[in-house]
Structure 1
């Protein structure tokens, strides 16, 4: 009986289980079976996977506190995701669970869903797709809830997520309209209200309507029950107030973040402290109390991960208060923390670069700007600004180095022989002391090495037995004494002795270092052991002839002139520019530098408001350089502005047009005239480049390359000089003057030779050719007049496809001319490649002899 009862009960349970699995029958058992199974199995695992994915997103996301934070911590990338692909396995798993819940436990009977958990499944599906950055499929999932589950308790949540997805698709206006309607129609509370208003605030931030965004982020910060969100929303509120220049309100918002203390992630608290510090009133605030607060933040052990930001803010405080050495120390401390915030690192480097630039330490400034660029987004506007300044700084470093080195050498040359001997005797005595100190150091090091070797041998005598060092056999560099010693020796050979301090590489090296010490060091390196400590050796290295000394003076003066122009035109550093031009005029410069320097000084005096000095400079130019264009401009400012035909730019354009018209001799002569007329003007290298091009077209490849090399040498730091060097490099492939076989060419020409002076004859002949080729339909022909050299000009027919065709065409044309009793001209046929070679190398005779 008992066995039969058990069998009946088992059979009944089995039947109930079988019948409850049906998704097409609306019964109490079926509904609850699928609801419970979906909720506590499939969806439970799906939401767990979603949470794991969100946590991984948060841990990998890096907030940029230099901009207004987004409401949601999620980095959206432009990477295209193909169907079936995913960025995060957790979100894929969450999506799979959501789909499984819908497919296995959905009870859609006659268009109505009887499983109350399916709306949760669609919500999970949409959120998984949203965080996987597949926003269009996510939008479809949220819309499914809104269209098919109007009675769902998740309807408002789905509406908020739909608008978050719309924002990600840049549909901010639609999101605002729908969220405002939601807030008007529904009485949202707590977290739903926080989610809706924070999303609405983000939409307004995206549209840069910051004042409206503040209203909604306030509501969100009050409504949310999550402390992390409360801290983030209040911080964003402070940032919005800062953007609108309401510093007091911003500080109140940051205080709300700070008051949360350990309830929120530490990064929000430190960021709020930093933002408050940025808003400090240096005129009316209590500086002592403020510094004490920053110092307290610095010493707090909990703040160690954020010392990069704290050090930076302390450095800012000291810089504002003119405590330069302390500021530099803290900027460097911030850099030594190896901060992951590249914007902060770039700002540290840039500030130090600006400081050293203002202090005229251009080598250091340039090094810091180089480091700034490596930490900035390439081709961004700030990057281009620093890059331009850094490029200009290279010129400053070069010319400052030339001026410094040549001034140093000239000062030594100007010394009496006795003073020269005394100077270099002191220098060589210093070298001897350094050599003795180095010898003593090496001896001490050798004794230490011997002592270490003795210590490391097997212990003999009393004492504890020696224990073998497990590191002795290690391959790690610093565990091997021999390798370490070798490395130290290699380092000293390469870099010399360097003090253990920041920026050690820049102490005696780096770009643009032309100091006299560096020049002397070069002389020392080339000296024998006897010469190295002989003062007379160094005296003999000084320039002795008047030509050498004049060359140094000329280079030094040109460097001063270029520095004056760079400081005036590129950096707007008018005081530095004035100093350079004034120093130049006191140094008896070449005549070509005098007048431009005086005029630039006059303009600088005007800019600085030094009326008396500008008037004196003006009268000096008018009286002593009456025939110059500068004097004309000063005497007739209105006419000079109205009549711009004689401006350097206009004359350059006119000369360039002559080049295009192949009037090469005219270009050369005009360029020579304007080079003298605009001596010292920035337009000079442009005319030099025009002149070199014209001479190249007339006299050939070598003349062109020589001209470009000279421009690259004389104007190395101008755009034209760099362009000339680039042209020289690119012209290497054209150096071959040999001729190619006609078999490899597909384009040929017929060339007629004329004396350049017979311009009328050339014009008439070209007309006859133009008329003749119109009757030939089987070729697409054209003609041109090409200058070959000063004596010879070509009339060329283009568009023939073979060498035989070119020869035959020319014979037909000549026969027609003879019938018409027209003039006949000698001609030759040539391929396109060989014609280019003839024009470049001017080797026509060689080509004709080979035919």
Structure 2
């Protein structure tokens, strides 16, 4: 009987299941079966996957607290995905579950959906697509809910999510319109109200309506049931108040975040504290109380993950309070935390760089600006600002290094023999002490290593571990970073190659090299000791022998140092407005027996600096001296007749350069070269000189060919290496000269379309005939049928000028050029010509090898 009852019960249950599986019958059992199955199977798993994906998305998102936070933590990826691909497998799985619920449990009978879980399924489908950043398919899912399920209890959620998606598609005005209508028509409460108002706030932020955004965030922070959201909304409120300049209101908002304490993520609380410190009133605020609170934040163990931000803010506090040394210490502390916030690191580096810049330590400032750029997005606006600042330092770093090095060498040159010997004996003594310490360390390390070998051999597991690391089976050895002998050897080799370098960014820069002794007098003795043999290294006479002794060499070093002084004076005066520094450089130059070419411009610049500094007596003395000792100079003329100097002085270097460039355009290359040489002598030492040198080299190349051009750009790249023109010359040497160095002519290939030129030669004695001939030629070319021909005049060398015909693309036609002319016109153009392809014409102009081309053996 029991068996029969179980059988009947089983059959009954099976029948009910089979009957209820039908999606075509509107029965109580069918509806509830599919509703329950969809809710607790597909949708449950789908929402779990969606939550996992959302958490991973939040964990991967890095908030930029230097700007107003977005309402929603979601990083928009620019990566283009192929059909079927997904940015996050969790969202793909959530979408699959939603689709499965719709496909297997939808009960669309007579155009009406009777499964109450289908609106939930479409909502899950839209959310999964939204988080997967497929916004158009997502908005379709949300619109389907609004169209098919107007009575759904999820209708308001669907409307909010649709507007979130609209904002991602940059339809902010539409989102504002729809959300305002939703808030007006529906009595939203709780989380629905918080979601709608927070999204409306984001839309207002996107359209720069900050006031409206603050109002909506206030409603959202009050309505939300999620403390994480509440902390974020209130923090954003504070940021927006700061943006409007309302510091008191901002501080009240940040206080509300702080009051949440552990109920919201700690990062919001810490950053709220730091934002309040940014608003601190240093004139009227209690500095002692503020400093104590900062110290409390620093010492709280729970705040260790945020020490990078805390140290930075303490540095800011000390900087604003005038304690530069304390500020720098804390900025460096912030950097040593290895913060993942690249913008924070950039701000630390930039601030330290600015501090060194303000102290006129430009080389060190340049290194910090380099580190700043390495932490900024390439070609972003902040990157370009720092790059301009860094580029302005390029010249001063370069010339300061020259001045410092050459001053050190000249100091040694003029030291008495006894003082030289004493200096280097002291240096060698330090080297010996250092070598002894290194030797003792190496011996101790070797003893420890041998002890370690014995111990390790007695431990099988250690032997196996070492063998696995690449050692011989059964033989124990230490990983090389743990072997003191190897480490000591590596350190010594490093010092030999690089010298003593501080542990800091950009350590390989030449400006980072350490000085061998406490004085600059020893110059680059570290480099010498690294290259010397062991015997030479500890011999003072070795270093003394390296000091220049020939008058010519010393004079060259002195000239280079003086020119560096002059350039530094100009840079400090014109670029950085550091008039005191500029004055000292020019004064040092004039005291150093400079070349004649630098004396007058230096005195004139000193006169201008005295005026700018209000040192009128010194300015009067300098002015009188220039007028008395250099009466024929341009500077004396300017000082005596300032009213005659217009905004665009025709005799200024810039105006003369423009006139010279116009001559270059007119192919008057010989005149350009002659006048360039004259101006280079006249304005020697002024910034215009590299431009004149480049123009001269170009004109020389056009007139005299490749070798003359090569010589000119080589001179420019060496003599003015750190100017823009010098760098341009170096680029020409590296990239252009190798491409045009070939003197071979190109064979014409009939299948390849090229251009040919018909060339008429005029010797120097015939040059006056060129205008008449060209006018006649132009009139003839106008009558040629089927071809659009033109002519031009091109200088070949000082003795030869070409008149060319352009527009012919066939060699045979070019060679029979006269056949294109009428009989009447043939009589007008009787001068002989030759034909050449454009490529070969370029070769003869570059290398001036016309004779080689016209020689029958080379045709």
Write the distance in 2 (CA, Å) between the matches of 1:257 and 1:563.
Answer: 52
CA apart distance, 1:620? 5.1
> 1:847 matched to which residue of 2?
853
CA apart distance, 1:742? 3.4
> 1:794 matched to which residue of 2?
802
Going from structure 1 to structure 2, the CA distance change for 1:143 and 1:539 (only over 3 Å counts) comes to same
Write the distance in 2 (CA, Å) between the matches of 1:11 and 1:534.
Answer: 108
Write the distance in 2 (CA, Å) between the matches of 1:611 and 1:570.
Answer: 23
Determine if contact 2:499/2:514 at 8 Å carries over to the other structure: no
Going from structure 1 to structure 2, the CA distance change for 1:63 and 1:466 (only over 3 Å counts) comes to closer
Determine if contact 1:362/1:397 at 8 Å carries over to the other structure: yes
Write the distance in 2 (CA, Å) between the matches of 1:63 and 1:402.
Answer: 45
> 1:750 matched to which residue of 2?
758
> 2:555 matched to which residue of 1?
550
Deviations, residues 403-443 of structure 1 (Å, cap 9, x unaligned): 1122222233333x3xx322332322331342144135414
> 1:690 matched to which residue of 2?
695
Deviations, residues 768-798 of structure 1 (Å, cap 9, x unaligned): 3333434443554332211111111111223
CA apart distance, 1:765? 2.2
3-state DSSP of counterpart to 2:793: strand
Q: Does 1:435 align with 2:441?
A: no
> 2:779 matched to which residue of 1?
771
Which of 570, 583, 590 pairs up with 2:588?
583
> 2:566 matched to which residue of 1?
561
Write the distance in 2 (CA, Å) between the matches of 1:50 and 1:255.
Answer: 34
Write the distance in 2 (CA, Å) between the matches of 1:151 and 1:276.
Answer: 47
Q: Does 1:741 align with 2:757?
A: no
> 2:789 matched to which residue of 1?
781
Determine if contact 2:705/2:847 at 8 Å carries over to the other structure: yes
Which of 428, 448, 469 pairs up with 1:475?
469
Write the distance in 2 (CA, Å) between the matches of 1:486 and 1:590.
Answer: 54
Going from structure 1 to structure 2, the CA distance change for 1:109 and 1:529 (only over 3 Å counts) comes to closer
What pairs with 1:255-266 in structure 2 (closer than 5 Å)? 255-266=255-266
> 2:725 matched to which residue of 1?
720
What pairs with 1:36-185 in structure 2 (closer than 5 Å)? 36-185=36-185
With the length of structure 2 as denominator, give the TM-score of the two structures: 0.90
> 2:474 matched to which residue of 1?
none
What pairs with 1:227-626 in structure 2 (closer than 5 Å)? 227-415=227-415, 417=416, 420-439=417-436, 441-443=438-440, 445-446=442-443, 449-450=446-447, 452-453=449-450, 456-457=453-454, 469-470=462-463, 473=467, 475=469, 479-480=479-480, 484-496=484-496, 502-503=503-504, 506=507, 510=511, 516-525=521-530, 532-533=537-538, 535-608=540-613, 617=622, 621=626, 624-626=629-631
With the length of structure 1 as denominator, give the TM-score of the two structures: 0.91
What pairs with 1:198-217 in structure 2 (closer than 5 Å)? 198-217=198-217
Write the distance in 2 (CA, Å) between the matches of 1:529 and 1:597.
Answer: 47
CA apart distance, 1:451? 5.9
> 2:674 matched to which residue of 1?
669
Write the distance in 2 (CA, Å) between the matches of 1:670 and 1:432.
Answer: 58
Write the distance in 2 (CA, Å) between the matches of 1:624 and 1:670.
Answer: 26
Going from structure 1 to structure 2, the CA distance change for 1:479 and 1:775 (only over 3 Å counts) comes to same
Write the distance in 1 (CA, Å) between the matches of 2:189 and 2:645.
Answer: 74
CA apart distance, 1:610? 5.1
Determine if contact 2:784/2:820 at 8 Å carries over to the other structure: no
Write the distance in 2 (CA, Å) between the matches of 1:459 and 1:313.
Answer: 49
Write the distance in 2 (CA, Å) between the matches of 1:842 and 1:500.
Answer: 53
CA apart distance, 1:71? 0.7
Write the distance in 2 (CA, Å) between the matches of 1:736 and 1:492.
Answer: 48
Going from structure 1 to structure 2, the CA distance change for 1:330 and 1:542 (only over 3 Å counts) comes to same
Going from structure 1 to structure 2, the CA distance change for 1:710 and 1:814 (only over 3 Å counts) comes to farther
Write the distance in 1 (CA, Å) between the matches of 2:558 and 2:438.
Answer: 43
Deviations, residues 476-508 of structure 1 (Å, cap 9, x unaligned): 896358965234313312225988964398599
3-state DSSP of counterpart to 2:797: coil
CA apart distance, 1:537? 4.9
> 2:713 matched to which residue of 1?
708
Which of 808, 819, 822 pairs up with 2:816?
808
Deviations, residues 16-40 of structure 1 (Å, cap 9, x unaligned): 4333333333232222222222222
Going from structure 1 to structure 2, the CA distance change for 1:198 and 1:636 (only over 3 Å counts) comes to farther
Determine if contact 1:472/1:480 at 8 Å carries over to the other structure: no
3-state DSSP of counterpart to 2:83: coil
Determine if contact 1:424/1:538 at 8 Å carries over to the other structure: no
3-state DSSP of counterpart to 1:742: coil
Going from structure 1 to structure 2, the CA distance change for 1:765 and 1:444 (only over 3 Å counts) comes to closer
CA apart distance, 1:61? 0.8
Determine if contact 1:498/1:504 at 8 Å carries over to the other structure: no
Determine if contact 1:561/1:584 at 8 Å carries over to the other structure: yes
Going from structure 1 to structure 2, the CA distance change for 1:32 and 1:347 (only over 3 Å counts) comes to same
CA apart distance, 1:270? 1.7
Determine if contact 2:442/2:484 at 8 Å carries over to the other structure: no
CA apart distance, 1:177? 1.8
3-state DSSP of counterpart to 2:775: helix
Write the distance in 2 (CA, Å) between the matches of 1:214 and 1:70.
Answer: 13
Determine if contact 1:397/1:511 at 8 Å carries over to the other structure: no
After superposing the two structures, state which structure 1 stretch, 607-616 or 316-325, moved more. Answer: 607-616
Deviations, residues 557-605 of structure 1 (Å, cap 9, x unaligned): 2111211222233334333333323333333433333343344444445
After superposing the two structures, state which structure 1 stretch, 314-323 or 642-651, moved more. Answer: 642-651
Going from structure 1 to structure 2, the CA distance change for 1:437 and 1:18 (only over 3 Å counts) comes to closer
After superposing the two structures, state which structure 1 stretch, 467-476 or 15-24, moved more. Answer: 467-476
Write the distance in 1 (CA, Å) between the matches of 2:791 and 2:506.
Answer: 63
3-state DSSP of counterpart to 1:449: helix
Going from structure 1 to structure 2, the CA distance change for 1:506 and 1:117 (only over 3 Å counts) comes to closer
Going from structure 1 to structure 2, the CA distance change for 1:706 and 1:219 (only over 3 Å counts) comes to same
Write the distance in 1 (CA, Å) between the matches of 2:612 and 2:186.
Answer: 65
Q: Mark the runs of 5 or more structure 1 residues left unpaired by the alignment.
A: none
When the two chains are superposed, the root-mean-square deviation of aligned CA atoms in Å is: 3.2
> 1:761 matched to which residue of 2?
769
CA apart distance, 1:811? 7.8
After superposing the two structures, state which structure 1 stretch, 374-383 or 268-277, moved more. Answer: 268-277
Determine if contact 1:747/1:802 at 8 Å carries over to the other structure: yes
Determine if contact 2:446/2:484 at 8 Å carries over to the other structure: no
Deviations, residues 26-81 of structure 1 (Å, cap 9, x unaligned): 23222222222222222112111111111111111111111111111100122233
CA apart distance, 1:110? 2.6
Going from structure 1 to structure 2, the CA distance change for 1:216 and 1:596 (only over 3 Å counts) comes to farther
After superposing the two structures, state which structure 1 stretch, 193-202 or 484-493, moved more. Answer: 484-493
Count of aligned pairs between the two proteins: 842
CA apart distance, 1:608? 4.7
Going from structure 1 to structure 2, the CA distance change for 1:164 and 1:789 (only over 3 Å counts) comes to same
